[in-house]
Structure 1
Amino acid sequence: MSSRREFVRKISTSALGLPVLLNSSNLFAYANGPYNGPLLRVAIMGLGSYGTRVAEAMQSCRKAKLVGVISGTPSKVTRWQSKYDIPDKNCYNYKNFDNIKDNPDIDAVYIITPNGLHCEFTLRVARAGKHVICEKPMGINAKEGQQMVDACKAANVKLLIGYRMHFEAKTLKIVGMRKNGEFGKIIFFQGQSGFIIGDPNQWRLNKKLSGGGAMMDIGIYSINGARYMIGEEPIWVTAQETKNDPVKFKEGIDETIQFQMGFPGGAVASCLSTYAVNHLDRFYLAGIEGWAEMQPSTGYGPIKARTHKGELTDPHITHQTVQMDEMAGILLENKQPVIPVDGEEGVKDMKIIDAIYKAAKSGKKIALTSS
């Protein structure tokens, strides 16, 4: 599969254009009538399959607008210009995009390139004085992630990570139920993330560009999901790697990793990240008084979820549309999301990934610190 998120088949695209309320807490109200607030003007860097998905979703945004492109492929720039009415002055390549510092019509750059380029490009965008939205994983290790956070702080710009699930209605409903104590003491989380990867020559199987294999691509969903579902930060990890195809999955590219995480409240997480099994996209959260299950849990939707109290029926809206509107509120109005999407959130995931790789290699339990 060519897209990192194509491990879940899309059942539906969206119910866009309808005046829909996403959840009972009024977090997102897609109402009729004109929007008169501030508008986030975004340039997308990386015009591949996911960049295209984000661009299409942004056509239905109320608070965010696609105004620029950055690509190393001139033909893609030309196509996007025509399709999205982007002026020449807002088009850049990877060599000259530092010039966005002189372009007042661009507020933020959404970096959707291979993982190995995230850090370098974030530092350059920050130096240009623009806000950064970076796809996950934010870098190839925690050291890079911290460099990105520090650079954005030094440049007085904000850094957000593309955690679209942090704005998804059913996800937020379950997190809200957990916060309200409806599951009781949390004791267990299970996360399964996997698909059979295709083209062996793609960048996701190139260590320099990807930083790793399935863990860097889709395993991060179970890591991040365990954290926001349980509501705590893990204090230890253990991990076991399995590799059945060492030709396709070369040194440094993980095929399958099972990993476990322990949390200070006593909960444990048991997770699977793999490029060798299709249709793995499930979260399960168990407390002493109730449970929640999501399957699919992180695909493009619709997400399906149920708890011990019954099925969740919150309507589906394209994730990237909600994400970009909510990120516009964060960047322009200093709104605070229910689940963080800032650079520090991304670094937390990177530290856990670093520890999982260390645990898988050493066979030892690795302690995690909050620092």
Structure 2
Amino acid sequence: MKSRRNFIRKSGLLLGAAFLPFPGCINFSQKKKLGVALVGLGYYSTDLLAPALQQTSYCELKGIVTGSPEKIPVWKQRYGIKDSNIYNYQNMHQIADNDEIDVIYIVLPTGLHAEYAIKAANTGKHVWCEKPMARTAKECQQIIDACNANKVKLSIGYRMQHEKNTKTIMEWAKTQPYGQIQEVSSQAGYNGGTINPWKLKKEMGGGAIYDMGVYTINAARYSTGLEPVAVTATQSTRRPEIFTEVDETTEFKMEFPGGIIVNGKTSFGQNLNKLAITAKDGWYYLEPMQAYSGVRGKTSDGKVLAPMGKTQQAVQMDDDALAILEDRPVRVPGEEGMKDIAIVEKINASAANGSQRVSL
């Protein structure tokens, strides 16, 4: 039955493509938006993704999956979600039979990503998964394998890679307008406010290195255009009564080919939000590098990198929806998320072994 639905869905896309004015261009006036179901209705879904979906051009909020029945009336009233598009964690497999939902977006604690991303893939729907992708590289690979087996696309929610100033930094890694890159500083963290309880639990993928550290690791990789060859790390806490299982602060050094050094720091106890690149003939930076309110930057020759006007999550989801509609590679595939998690595991190993240098 599922294979028949997949055939009909894919045939519909192919038939639509047959009437395009030229290859690679889709007349979206003749296409429906992709229906998205959010799995998990915590802060990120409630305050950021759901409002951003109201700004998108190529996708729309069609369904929810929640274990909190008390939240359902609010979402029904606010977004007009049908009863038939509301699921819980026990029956979300039934989304396979729902033609109004094309994408399942996993927005759960990190420790649950693998389980529910695999369930989502097995429905035959495309999968978007929030960062960090999973707790281990092994779990990341399991998600990738499930999506490949079901012939669905997988995108990881790295909103920064869809943001215009970040894309400029990524391009400069290739063109090197300020000369050869020599050193990078990558920092992301926050202080104050209540920390979500699951972020303090090791088995749930808690800790600064997972929650905020993936920003710093991913930035190190996209700002150099390279993959690290070794890491050295230390982890600490100023509040051991709170951080009993996970790191409050992680500092690390990443060694890249060509002698490039990236100094990274991530924390639940400091406000950190900067990516700075030093090159042979100049410098440039983003500060903040990952704020919801916008990314800003400057260069040594006076260029100003101003924030874009549109919500980052809306741009991200439209990009990912277009990749599905146009049947082309997504911007941030599962392999990208897995690379960061493999580095997180090496950083944790280094810190656990007295800041021992660990090769990648």
State the TM-score, normalizing by the size of structure 1. Answer: 0.86
Given candidates 290, 295, 299, the residue that maps to 1:303 is 295
* Alpha carbons of structure 1 residues 197 and 139: separation in structure 2 relative to 1, 3 Å: farther
Q: Gapped runs of 5+ residues in structure 2?
A: 1-27
Residue in 1 that maps onto 2:160: 165
Write the deviation string for residues 109-143 of structure 1: whole angstroms up to 9, x where unpaired. Answer: 11111111100001111111111100001111111
Work out whether 1:320 is the aligned partner of 2:313: yes
Distance in 1, matches of 2:256 and 2:32, equals 40
Residue 308 of structure 1 deviates from its aligned partner by 1.8
Residue in 1 that maps onto 2:286: 294
Given candidates 313, 316, 335, the residue that maps to 1:344 is 335
Residue 92 of structure 1 deviates from its aligned partner by 0.3
Residue 291 of structure 1 deviates from its aligned partner by 1.5
Distance in 1, matches of 2:173 and 2:202, equals 38
Write the deviation string for residues 220-270 of structure 1: whole angstroms up to 9, x where unpaired. Answer: 10000110111001111100112222210013x001110011111321100
Residue 336 of structure 1 deviates from its aligned partner by 4.4
Residue in 2 that maps onto 1:248: 242
Write the deviation string for residues 54-80 of structure 1: whole angstroms up to 9, x where unpaired. Answer: 110110110111111111111212211
* Alpha carbons of structure 1 residues 265 and 38: separation in structure 2 relative to 1, 3 Å: farther
Question: Aligned AA for 2:199?
Answer: R
Moved more, 268-277 or 167-176: 167-176
Residue 333 of structure 1 deviates from its aligned partner by 1.1
Q: How many percent of aligned residue pairs carry the same amino acid?
A: 41
Residue in 1 that maps onto 2:86: 91
Work out whether 1:330 is the aligned partner of 2:329: no
User: Which structure features the higher share of helix residues?
Assistant: 2
Distance in 2, matches of 1:46 and 1:200, equals 18
Residue 301 of structure 1 deviates from its aligned partner by 2.3
RMSD of the alignment, in Å? 1.7
* Alpha carbons of structure 1 residues 247 and 313: separation in structure 2 relative to 1, 3 Å: closer
Work out whether 1:39 is the aligned partner of 2:47: no
Distance in 1, matches of 2:104 and 2:276, equals 35
Residue 200 of structure 1 deviates from its aligned partner by 6.0
Q: Secondary structure at the match of 2:187?
A: strand
Number of positions where the alignment pairs a residue of Structure 1 with one of Structure 2: 331
Residue in 1 that maps onto 2:135: 140
Residue in 1 that maps onto 2:5: none
Q: Gapped runs of 5+ residues in structure 1?
A: 1-33
1:1-371 paired onto structure 2 within 5 Å: 35-37=29-31, 39-52=33-46, 53-196=48-191, 198-199=193-194, 202-209=197-204, 211-251=205-245, 253-278=246-271, 280-309=272-301, 310-313=303-306, 315-336=308-329, 340-362=331-353, 363-368=355-360
- Please tell me whether Structure 1 or Structure 2 has the larger radius of gyration of its CA atoms: 2
Residue 193 of structure 1 deviates from its aligned partner by 1.0
Q: Contact conserved, 2:284 with 2:300, CA < 8 A, in 1?
A: yes
**Structure with larger RCO (C-alpha < 8 A, sep 6+):** 1
Distance in 2, matches of 1:39 and 1:333, equals 13
Q: Secondary structure at the match of 2:243?
A: coil
* Alpha carbons of structure 1 residues 317 and 200: separation in structure 2 relative to 1, 3 Å: closer
Q: Secondary structure at the match of 1:265?
A: helix
Q: Contact conserved, 2:294 with 2:307, CA < 8 A, in 1?
A: no
Q: Contact conserved, 2:65 with 2:86, CA < 8 A, in 1?
A: yes
Distance in 2, matches of 1:69 and 1:333, equals 25
Q: Secondary structure at the match of 2:257?
A: coil
State the TM-score, normalizing by the size of structure 2. Answer: 0.88
Residue in 1 that maps onto 2:20: none
Distance in 2, matches of 1:200 and 1:162, equals 21
Q: Contact conserved, 1:135 with 1:161, CA < 8 A, in 2?
A: yes
* Alpha carbons of structure 1 residues 178 and 290: separation in structure 2 relative to 1, 3 Å: farther
Q: Contact conserved, 2:67 with 2:88, CA < 8 A, in 1?
A: yes
* Alpha carbons of structure 1 residues 264 and 39: separation in structure 2 relative to 1, 3 Å: same
Q: Contact conserved, 1:200 with 1:248, CA < 8 A, in 2?
A: no
